[in-house]
Amino acid sequence: MEILVEVFLPLSLAIIMLSLGIGLTPSDFRRVVERGWAFGIGALCQLILIPLFAYVIVLTFGFTGAIAAGVMLLSFCPGGVTTNVMARLANGDVALSVSLTALISLLSIITVPVLVGWAVTRFMGADVPEFSVTEIAIAMFLITTLPVSIGMLIRYLAPGFADRAEPKLFVLAGVLFVVIVLAAIATNWDLFVANFTALGPALAVLSITTMLAGLTIAGVFGLTWAEQKTVAVEVGLQNGTLGITLAPIIAGVATGIPEIGLPAAIYSVIMYLTGIPIVLWLRSRRRES
């Protein structure tokens, strides 16, 4: 079990982020400048809207302690490679989705450690674990920023190899995502069962409301229908894998997934139950509105 927490989980997430990086090109980042308005709306929704909604849900459902901190931890995590797939399924702007996922993932090395420090102090009080914001930042760099950068370097140095490797890495990333979620649930099965009835509805509300809010805000600010759908997906589907991976580092445990990681584990299941129907509904609405 110690190998699972200390080695397999971080390595798996690193491979998932590598699969993101190997598909990136300089044009993805130039697109941020060329379409700064759409990117800015999506980025602000991810950085501000999701934590705000999560905070309201924590207070509304009466969560406290590690569970409350875990919901907030989830809200601080950027979107993952899943959002790129969902954006494509919704007939959204995939290029914008990739740009948002990549840039917010790179920025999270700064935002996540700082916000996690606030959340655990705010909700865990005297039970707050001893952890270092710097340690979390280093972990974020090693399991997100560095793999993305390596993937981009591979794409730059060997584009042919990157083209061949990308679909295989994408499949591997999907398999690893499922393994991580199942492992997180299995290692804390009793806690999972005890908290699912309370956390499940709350996290479903978080996913649905953030998707619809992202869609609405993007529409209010004049984004195209494809861009609106992309912002909805990027805002409504978080990288639960990152939350699961960071939880043991925050809690300082090496055996199993701690309680603070349960919201991310449950959300990783819930988001498909809530997200896919909305994505299919968005796909069916072809008019610009």
Mean pLDDT, the chain, as a whole number?
A: 85
94 within a domain of the structure (yes/no)? yes
pLDDT at 7: 66
pLDDT at 289: 44
Distance CA 32, CA 216 (A): 21
Return the higher-pLDDT residue of 226 and 173. Answer: 226
| 6-10, 121-125, 257-261: segment of lowest average pLDDT | 6-10
pLDDT digits (tens, 9 = 90+) for 19-56: 878 877 777 667 667 778 888 999 999 999 999 999 99
pLDDT at 286: 67
pLDDT digits (tens, 9 = 90+) for 266-284: 898 888 889 889 999 998 8
264 within a domain of the structure (yes/no)? yes
18 within a domain of the structure (yes/no)? yes
Domain carrying residue 70:
2-281
228 within a domain of the structure (yes/no)? yes
142 within a domain of the structure (yes/no)? yes
| 1-10, 169-178, 182-191: segment of lowest average pLDDT | 1-10
287 within a domain of the structure (yes/no)? no
Burial class (CB in 10 A: 0-12, 13-18, 19+), 170: middle
Distance CA 276, CA 209 (A): 14
Q: How large is the average pLDDT for residues 214-233?
A: 93
pLDDT band at 176 (very low <50, low <70, confident <90, very high): confident
pTM, full prediction: 0.84
Number of domains in the chain: 1
Distance CA 275, CA 250 (A): 28
pLDDT at 225: 92
For residue 118, give both structure tokens.
């606030």
pLDDT band at 68 (very low <50, low <70, confident <90, very high): very high
Q: Which of 60, 64, 100, 35 is nearest to 236 (CA)?
A: 100
87 within a domain of the structure (yes/no)? yes
65 within a domain of the structure (yes/no)? yes
pLDDT at 147: 87
pLDDT band at 102 (very low <50, low <70, confident <90, very high): confident
Distance CA 171, CA 180 (A): 14
Three-state DSSP class for 35?
A: coil
What CATH number should be reported for the domain holding residue 139? 1.20.1530.20
